Amino acid sequence: MSTEKRREDNSAHTGGATAPLLPEVFNPWTGWKYSQRYFEMLDKRKALPVWEKRCKFLRYLHDNQTVILVGEAGSGKSTQIPQFVLEANFLKKHSMVACTQPNRVAAMSVSRRVAEEMDVTIGEEVGYSIPFEDCSSPKTILKYLTECMLLREAMADPLLERYKVIILDEAHERTLDMDVLFGFLKVVLRNRPDLKLVIMSATLEAENFQEWFNGAPLMKVPGRLHPVEIFYTVHPERDYLEAAIRTVVHIHTREPPGGILVFLTGEEEIEDACRKITKEICNLGDQVGPTKVFPLYSSLPPAMQQEIFQPSPAPLNEDGSPGRKIVVSTNIAETSLTIDGIVYVIDPGFSEQYVYNPRIRVDSLLVSPISKASAHQRSGHAGRTQPGKCFRLYTERSFNNDLPQKYPEILRSNLATTVLTLKKLGIDDLVHFFLDPPAPETLMRALEVLHYLGALDDDGNLTKLGEIMSEFPLDPQMSKMLVVSAEFNCSNEILSISAMLSAPNCFVRPKEAKTAADEAKARSPSACHISYKVAVLTTDEDLSWCLENFLDERALKAADDVRQQLVRIMARLNLRLCSPDFNSPDYYVNIRKALLAGYFTQVAHLERTGHYLTMKETQVVHLHPSNCLEHKPEWVIYNEYVLTSRDFIRTVTDIRGEWLIDIAPHYYDLSNFPSCEAERVLRRLYRKREKDKQDTKNRK
């Protein structure tokens, strides 16, 4: 029986939006008989709290253009609601349901789970789309995608006509892209009366959304969390990392079976904690059961991210102590992920956030205390499958009095990428577009940098260059560098560098061989950026080569995938792929000039005091210890500004002062420049260039 035929049969069965689902023997999406596993999963699905509200939800959706659904994490929103919509036959031929997720791990894991529940193959009827990976096909009717991917689709399809129902999941997280979608979909809904929107949230802040979406009805789903016992520390902990590790060991030695989820702040801290936990538990020998420790952070290669879904390890022998899985994660696991088997949560109360300071134009990664709402979300993980325990590594008094409000990301972010996206989507009124308008200074800074990059003209309209730049899922500086790289005859090299900077970190730095790893990285000629290029060019080499050079093979593979995607975009835009002659003395010069053409706003100058000062904002910065330069060049461009114990610049490349006035004279216009050593050097360079020009003219 054909799929089409079975689909018609199914609609006849359900007979409209409010009919209950009748389990059939045949899968209406594939035409195949359902597997045994389908029925097993169906029983579990039916026990989820959203199932009680299935008919009511479908009736609301039938009667309204927008519905807001609030339900605690684990109530079945992400997995069941999209299936209810599919089964209720809201779709017409060739239309689809989209369900957004706040990050790639969530998009991949929920879509896999739902494909299993629907008894279909992932990538066919149910698919996902995340930056640099599209796992969907013409057959796809339900697509889970990151919020930024839905915005990318809107660039080519401004009314999102391929979708009949759009579901915004985890709306309470208020990511930057979610806020853009709120503004954008409000416009789309006006122009597409046939489109339905579902907004799902785990917290009641959703009441704000009702007003924004013209009084859309709000439906609550009861929670089904098991009780979670909360423990606080008696005194504040001086070292939360050490306290977290101590608590893991305590749970493993004293508490009944059940997985542990530990929330830490960033990649380095998590990797360090994983090593220490493994070592400490190993030291306990056979007295305790085996453990598997999994790190989880957004830059971890996708295959490794999926490992957290593995079950706990089996006991070593028949009467041995039970095994335990331990997941050490950033706040990526806070709401959108369900990790089966977690019974204990350890919450030190911190997370790492990008915070943008428009005054000094710096995006920095800061470790800050989490909000009460986040603390609640975190503890909820302990009660998803059975009663659990949450260990908060701070005092109860701190919880009640000191935890800050949760701010939407838009109020603390650099908006350059967002403004470029909005311009491409044809949105000009940026002030009234947002539910919570960002600071005017932040918007101004975004418009200013896009103007310097040539993406906007003097009237703030998108230029041809800006249109092309907006096609790349990269930040505007990187897109600009890529688009103009052919002018420097090195687009192949810049593609590799962009791919590496967009993919997980490939440079491994094992504790026992830090120096050797640093030396391997420094073998590339005088630039961090260029070491990335060299790394990607060798992805075809064998594993031993990667090991020798301290490169992570999986991260290289991920970078190679990103590169191929970027190549496809370059080809679609007719951008030339070229390389300079490798033996030419200008080989690296060209690459460095192309880097500068994108990142001319991220330059630092070495002052006589021995410190670097960023241009224009004149902030004192230091080269990050991970950089691979052997000397301190007079001028550097940097990829990242990191604020930890000091102000660091990371991934730096040496450049020459002359290039600044050749490549970006509009930015290095000295009539509008703070007085500093760099300004005097540039003034000399301008004078020298004038003199050289005059001499050439005289000779003629």
For binding to ligand CDP (CB under 6 A), which residues are involved? 48, 71, 73-80, 109-110, 113, 338, 340, 384
Classify 599 as helix, strand or coil: helix
Non-local (6+) Cβ contacts of 182 within 8 A are 168, 209, 212, 434, 435
Classify 33 as helix, strand or coil: strand
Contact indicator for 146, 134 with CB cutoff of 8 Å = no
| Token representation of residue 689 | 């260039």
In this complex, which beta carbon is closest to ligand CDP, that of residue 79 or of residue 498? 79
Distances from the Cα of 3 to the Cαs of 94, 114, 397, in angstroms? 13, 19, 59
For 100, counting Cβ atoms within 10 Å of its Cβ (0-12 exposed, 13-18 middle, 19+ buried), the class is: buried
Q: Which element (helix H / strand E) includes 98?
A: strand 96-101
Contact indicator for 492, 526 with CB cutoff of 8 Å = no
In this complex, which beta carbon is closest to ligand CDP, that of residue 200 or of residue 474? 200
Give the nearest distance from C-beta 509 to ligand CDP in angstroms: 32
In this complex, which beta carbon is closest to ligand CDP, that of residue 329 or of residue 489? 329
Give the nearest distance from C-beta 561 to ligand CDP in angstroms: 23
In this complex, which beta carbon is closest to ligand CDP, that of residue 199 or of residue 536? 199
The region, left, alpha or beta by phi > 0 then psi within -120 to 50, assigned to residue 616 is left
In this complex, which beta carbon is closest to ligand CDP, that of residue 340 or of residue 519? 340
Give the nearest distance from C-beta 516 to ligand CDP in angstroms: 39
Give the nearest distance from C-beta 384 to ligand CDP in angstroms: 5
Give the nearest distance from C-beta 114 to ligand CDP in angstroms: 8
In this complex, which beta carbon is closest to ligand CDP, that of residue 129 or of residue 417? 129
In this complex, which beta carbon is closest to ligand CDP, that of residue 123 or of residue 266? 123
Cα dihedral 601, 607, 613, 617 sign: negative
In this complex, which beta carbon is closest to ligand CDP, that of residue 80 or of residue 265? 80
Non-local (6+) Cβ contacts of 36 within 8 A are none
Classify 99 as helix, strand or coil: strand
Cα dihedral 382, 388, 392, 393 sign: negative
In this complex, which beta carbon is closest to ligand CDP, that of residue 166 or of residue 534? 166
Give the nearest distance from C-beta 363 to ligand CDP in angstroms: 30
What single string gives the DSSP state of each residue in 381-423?
A: GGGSSS-EEEEESS-HHHHHHTPPPPPPGGGGS--HHHHHHHH
Give the nearest distance from C-beta 10 to ligand CDP in angstroms: 22
**What gap in Å lies between CA 222 and CA 219, rounded to an integer?**
10
In this complex, which beta carbon is closest to ligand CDP, that of residue 197 or of residue 430? 197
In this complex, which beta carbon is closest to ligand CDP, that of residue 388 or of residue 454? 388
In this complex, which beta carbon is closest to ligand CDP, that of residue 71 or of residue 358? 71
**What gap in Å lies between CA 357 and CA 273, rounded to an integer?**
30
Give the nearest distance from C-beta 223 to ligand CDP in angstroms: 9
**What gap in Å lies between CA 53 and CA 39, rounded to an integer?**
21
In this complex, which beta carbon is closest to ligand CDP, that of residue 80 or of residue 140? 80
Non-local (6+) Cβ contacts of 12 within 8 A are none
For 469, list phi and psi in degrees, rounded to 5: -60, -40
Contact indicator for 613, 619 with CB cutoff of 8 Å = yes
| Helices 416-424/147-156 angle, 10° precision | 30
Give the nearest distance from C-beta 33 to ligand CDP in angstroms: 24
Give the nearest distance from C-beta 107 to ligand CDP in angstroms: 11
Contact indicator for 59, 17 with CB cutoff of 8 Å = yes
Give the nearest distance from C-beta 228 to ligand CDP in angstroms: 14
Contact indicator for 61, 17 with CB cutoff of 8 Å = yes
Give the nearest distance from C-beta 387 to ligand CDP in angstroms: 15
Give the nearest distance from C-beta 332 to ligand CDP in angstroms: 14
